[in-house]
Amino acid sequence: PKIITLPGDGIGPEVTAAAAQVLREVAPDVTLEEHAIGGGAFEAHGDPFPQRTRDALQDADAVLLGTVGGAHDSPWNRLPRHLRPESGLLALRKALGCYANLRPVRVQPGLEHLSPLKPELARGVDILIVRELLGGIYFDGDRRIEGETAYNTMRYTTPEVERVAKVAFWAAEQRKGRVTSVDKANVLEVSELWRRDVQALRDREHRSIHLNHEYVDSVAMLIVANPSRYDVIVTENLFGDILSDLAAVIPGSLGLMPSASLGDGAGLFEPIHGSAPDIAGRGVANPAAAIQSAAMLLRHSLKRPDAANQVDRAVALALRQHPTRDLGGQADTQTFTRAVLRALE
Amino acid sequence: PKIITLPGDGIGPEVTAAAAQVLREVAPDVTLEEHAIGGGAFEAHGDPFPQRTRDALQDADAVLLGTVGGAHDSPWNRLPRHLRPESGLLALRKALGCYANLRPVRVQPGLEHLSPLKPELARGVDILIVRELLGGIYFDGDRRIEGETAYNTMRYTTPEVERVAKVAFWAAEQRKGRVTSVDKANVLEVSELWRRDVQALRDREHRSIHLNHEYVDSVAMLIVANPSRYDVIVTENLFGDILSDLAAVIPGSLGLMPSASLGDGAGLFEPIHGSAPDIAGRGVANPAAAIQSAAMLLRHSLKRPDAANQVDRAVALALRQHPTRDLGGQADTQTFTRAVLRALE
Ligand SMILES: CC(C)[C@H](C(=O)O)[C@@H](O)C(=O)O
Ligand SMILES: CC(C)[C@H](C(=O)O)[C@@H](O)C(=O)O
């Protein structure tokens, strides 16, 4: 199998290198091929998603992404929109046809104290957020600034809603069978279509699923006040952006949050933390999320659940024995990675 | 001064009656006039915002609102959109020209244990969220369902951005002088306009304010992981809906969260909790947020800060002495209200 690695900006190269080491260890038959994306790609090739990177995706089985983007005050943020690092990321998602972003939010037993929530609320949390990733207000439609007025269009079609809902139902069938679909149907027509189509698909093809519908403002409350009530959450792109980042703080470290984006072509796997330019290049970044993303790659793209489980267990062990600095420990990137590799033996 | 009360649905009448009692006590010169809104108004007059209510607002100095809307499975939710309870609320906001929704989020000393957050994170939290309330994706623009496609339009103009930003700057000037403007400028053109206009207004007229800009997904994380970093937050309608509800869980009970909506005409004051149909009519609802909303009315519409402070102190005392059931206490609505009235003497 051929895997494209896209290390990107900031700490991306460090954590991607760690994940690549682990991948080579558990799947020695994979070929890894590195390409450019993001701000670095703009510097080198004048494009945050260069043609050479796009071409390389053609025959890839999966993509392992690091992080993209610069500091808050980076000159990259003042480039025309289509040249900014984030545009490279959005173009990558589109090129791969990754319409379903999977974000597991799990509080590891014994690590409840890291959560900003009270331990009794954090304990046992196990949510999967499925975010629609190629539609809504992110892409297409009327979008412009005209003098003193600006417009964006939120748009969804039934096929777009159905394909991502299918992923959520499929995932729930292997979990507790409960799906919460999140919308703002009391205000938005788009949400009315979303709710109608998700419900219809459930009634037609997934009758064993317990489906309910909640408003996005209410979910933002309840995911903090009572996170254990959720199993699988499915929602549109913008709500998913907000809710998945919100939920990601529950385990207490973004360094522990992987993601998978699935769709028509090769899957895209990336840690959800940012590029952390303040600690980049110092070898101290926590690579756990990148390594867990590699585990998701093994599971979803290479269909090697045993190897995936092995990696997940090795990461959990390494986290207990050699916590990184963001977790209050001492381990740097290499120490942690070596601990994972040792646990794999 | 003439105050319109709109008790609305569910527990609205109970908590509004409590707030009206308190208002009469501290401002015996006000006239209170009750009118219909929401689901009940639809039942009685065929319209969730009847003409008679609209007319009554003409010469009002302020509006004290209860709650609107039915249970999750209420038949009201299946009415055509313009007849639903929520449409009454949106029409009311528009009729009053209330473009700035103020949501104070304060953790009362001694009540940190109610928060879902660890006490050390909850302690001392004091945020004011200023939500734009009449623009964005909530109102106007292209909005429709056409077969298998649905559209909504997010739109802002410079004057809309400036008038709400002014309220945020004005509020910050009486607090710690820090404003965080929240947007999604890495994706949305509307956010680009928003950010540009907020910054320009700061640079032109409010140079003493420390202004920074953050992305909505990042704020959703940080408001939970580190709420003390915020003083005043200003944002557009949809982001404000989500973030203000999210922040509202920090103090631990929605029963403690008032709001004020200010703009061109009379101010609108309401507790942020829902209509709680499950406990409606049983006399057990916590009226603290409605009473605190009356305090905001005294402060912002009647310009009586002393009376407002008196009410706030009385509520704080009553909360300690006679906590309601949602706070783990025993007091019902009347017991709590009497405790507030006694504390006022
Ligand atoms: C960088 C940005 C465009 C992106 C998004 O909003 O999708 C990010 O926030 C994410 O969630 O991956
Ligand atoms: C009921 C609904 C229309 C309303 C809104 O979204 O504005 C509510 O959630 C609120 O925040 O007051």
Q: What is the pLDDT of residues A230-247, one digit of tens each?
A: 999 999 999 999 999 999
Query: What is the model's pLDDT at position B110?
Result: 86
Cβ distance B150 to A221 less than 8 Å, yes or no, reads: no
At residue A335, does pLDDT exceed 90?
yes
**CA distances to A193, A198, A205, B266 from A159, in Å:** 11, 11, 15, 46
B230-276 tens-digit pLDDT: 999 999 999 999 999 999 999 988 888 999 999 988 999 999 999 99
Residue B299 one-letter amino acid: R
pLDDT single digits (tens) B182-212: 999 999 999 999 999 999 999 999 999 999 9
CB within 8 Å of B51: residues ≥ 6 apart: none
Tens digit of each residue's pLDDT (9 = 90 or more) over A64-104: 999 999 998 899 988 998 999 999 999 999 999 999 999 99
By annotation, the residues of B acting in catalysis are 138, 184, 217, 241, 245
pLDDT at B108 over 90: no
Nearest to A272 by CA among A295, A299, A293: A293
Mean pLDDT of chain B: 96
Give the one of A86, A118, A150 whose C-beta lies nearest to B118's C-beta: A118
A111 — pLDDT class (breaks 50, 70, 90): confident
pLDDT of B181 over the 90 cut: yes
CB atoms within 10 A of CB A272: 20
**pLDDT exceeds cutoff 90 at A264:** no
Structure tokens at A301: 């793209």
pLDDT > 70 fraction of chain B, expressed in percent and rounded: 100
User: What is the arithmetic mean of pLDDT over B62-72?
Assistant: 95
- Find which of B89, B151, B273 to mutate to test the A interface (most A CBs within 10 Å of its CB): B151
User: Mind telling me how many Å the CA of A327 is from chain B's nearest CA?
Assistant: 14
Tokens encoding A10: 């900031």
Q: How far is Cα A279 from Cα B331, in angstroms, rounded to an integer?
A: 52
Closest ligand 2 atom, residue B272 Cα: 12
How far away is chain B from the Cα of A172, in angstroms, using its nearest Cα?
Answer: 23
B86 lines ligand 2 (CB under 6 A): yes
Domains of chain A from N-terminus onward: 1-97+264-345 (3.40.718.10), 105-252 (3.40.718.10)
The answer to whether B281 and B12 are in contact (CB under 8 A) is no
Would an 8 Å CB–CB cutoff place A242 in contact with chain B?
yes
Nearest listed ligand to the Cα of residue A184: 2
Residue type, B341: L
**Contact in structure between B74 and B66 (CB atoms under 8 Å):** no
Question: Whole-number mean pLDDT of chain A?
Answer: 96
- Does any ligand 1 atom lie closer than 6 A to the CB of residue B217? yes
What pLDDT does A110 receive? 86
* Structure-token pair, residue A214: 């909640």
In chain B, % helix, strand, coil (3-state, to 5) comes to: 50, 20, 30
Interface residue B162 vs chain A (CB under 8 A): no
Arithmetic mean of pLDDT, A315-334: 93
* pLDDT attached to residue A25: 97
Residue at token pair 């992305």: B215
Is A280 annotated as ligand-binding?
yes
The confidence score (pLDDT) of residue A133 equals: 97
pLDDT tens-digit readout, A31-57: 999 999 999 999 999 999 999 999 999
